Amino acid sequence: MRADFVVIFYLGFVVLSDYGIYPSSILPYIQSLIESEDRATFVYSVVLSSNATAQVLVSFVCGYASKLIGMKAVFIILQLVALLGTAIYAMAGYPIGSAWAILIGRTLAGIGVGVYALGLSYISVASLDGTHRASNIANFRTLATFSIIPASFVPIIISLPFISFSIGPYDVNEYTYPAILTFIMQAIGLVAMVKLYQNPEAISVKEDDINSNDALLSGENKPKQPKKPEPPPVQEGKKNFYISPGVVLVLSIFGFQGYLVATIMYVMPVIMLDKYEWPLVIYTPVLFVISVLALVGTVLGKITDKRLGYWRHMAIVPTMGAISLSTVIAAVGSTGPDVIYAPIGATLFLSAVGLMYCMYQLQQTILATVYSQILPREFLVRMMPLTSALYGIGKIIAPLISEAQAAAFGYPLIFYVFLVVSAALMFISIALNRHFLPRKLPKLTSNTSEAEPLTQDSEKISSDSDDDVEKNVS
């Protein structure tokens, strides 16, 4: 594997490991600095929302900023901001002594998450062709998702009392260990980025030249059919965005996924710990199992992407249907022991959540590739981060809406709303299925696993793709 891809994959690993290292320690860390329980809970909710908000804002701007100052400069700035936020978080107890330092630190860490979205842009631009791009994106997401599993063991290890110690007035304990470990990993990523980064555009041009020479040597330089005139390329430096039905639908699904995941993370502890009264010692291993199912979904997405090849978009509708089915099961399980026998209700609810996570990861792996292939090349850097932005918006609004729904009508309503939305997206995906097709048909070669459709069908698909609505919004 190329050295620059190793760096990008490592940065994705570090970013998503955050979801396994921090969640169990943030609230206790805040409570150790604030005496009032109500105020500590309020600060905790603000910390979560500010982190997600920072992710959304940076996802909107980092793609455009990379066009202005270069992708390498944006990578380095995001990593430096993340390092600063991690350091502030680690010093919230001493020497700062304020819970608001946790808020500032986690907000800056949210800005650093932009590395993940920009990494997708880098992979999309630096990949040789559609086949390599699909494989690289799937590998990137698989490795990044895998990071949650080893990271979930960190809170268990750092909670052991014998590994805590002090350096003068500074305590190294279960509150500060997460930041210290993250700081070390981020520093390694920054050094690797400075040393091994390569310009993705230069890589693509170089590989194209090599492929052209190979074609000449092998006698494959045959006359090509005349192409239809294409619109002039978008000039760099202008705030242009590509819009088509396929792009809008994919971004809508990403927003739904963020809303789905954030709602589950908000609802699941309430239902399992409060309604079913599960002890924490049993609930924690269940979270680990769900993380494993998420990884299984990512691996299945990678396999599905490779097997279906050009027709990978055909997996979007079945996965959305599976999510719709799981919302019905979750609604039944969320009624609690007052309505359903407790073991059955808990089993139904957790099974539905596990299925949702598995299908969500499978679908997102496919969607990332589909989105990268329906965008014109000149928009990849600028618009790939929008997937993380829409995903983050869903995470911001989910807890607020879910809390209002649960207070007014109970938790089952949350999942019935999911049923309606997911079913609507599924039927819209069926109606607009042709807009998921790549902009260019794959070439039939001896070493590709993607099946090329028949010539007659290819011409029809190409004519349909030319009918997509394309607008430049300034």
What pLDDT does 24 receive? 67
| pLDDT > 70? residue 56 | yes
Q: How confident is the model at residue 328 (pLDDT cuts 50, 70, 90)?
A: very high
pLDDT for the residue numbered 183: 93
Q: Give me the mean pLDDT over the 447-451 stretch.
A: 42
What is d(CA 258, CA 397) in angstroms, rounded to the nearest whole number? Answer: 9
Q: Is the pLDDT of residue 28 over 70?
A: yes
CATH homologous superfamily for 1-203? MFS general substrate transporter like domains (1.20.1250.20)
Angle formed by the axes of helices 23-31 and 148-158, nearest 10°? 40
What integer pLDDT is reported at residue 131 of this predicted model? 63
Of the listed ranges 131-135, 179-183, 257-261, the least confidently predicted one is 131-135
Provide the mean pLDDT of the chain: 77
CATH (residue range 238-439):
1.20.1250.20
Q: CATH 1.20.1250.20 region(s) of the chain?
A: 1-203, 238-439
Q: How far is CA 264 from CA 261, 398, 411, in A?
A: 5, 9, 11
Of the two residues 377 and 453, the one the predictor is more confident about is 377
pTM listed for this prediction = 0.66
1 pLDDT band (50/70/90 cuts)? low
Supply the pLDDT for residue 406: 78
The whole-number pLDDT of residue 214 equals 41
Using 50, 70 and 90 to split pLDDT, how confident is the model at 320? very high
Helix axis angle for 148-158 and 130-146, nearest 10°, is: 20
Task: Answer with the residue of higher pLDDT: 211 or 24.
Answer: 24
> What digits encode the pLDDT tens for the residues 142-196?
777 777 777 777 766 776 777 788 888 888 887 888 889 999 999 998 998 888 7
Predicted pLDDT of residue 326: 93
Distance, CA of 46 to CA of 396 (rounded, Å): 11
Residue 340 pLDDT greater than 60, yes or no: yes
| pLDDT of res. 176 | 86
| pLDDT score of 349 | 92
Confidence at residue 276, expressed as pLDDT on a 0 to 100 scale: 87
The pLDDT assigned to 425 comes to 93
Q: Report, as an integer, the average pLDDT of 295-307.
A: 86
Residue 200 has pLDDT above 70, yes or no: no
Predicted confidence (pLDDT) at residue 34 exceeds the cutoff of 60? yes
Residue tagged 């927003």 (tokens)? 255
pLDDT for position 132: 73
Average pLDDT for residues 71-86, to the nearest whole number?
91
Residues of the chain with pLDDT > 90, as a percent, come to 17
* Section 46-62 average pLDDT: 80
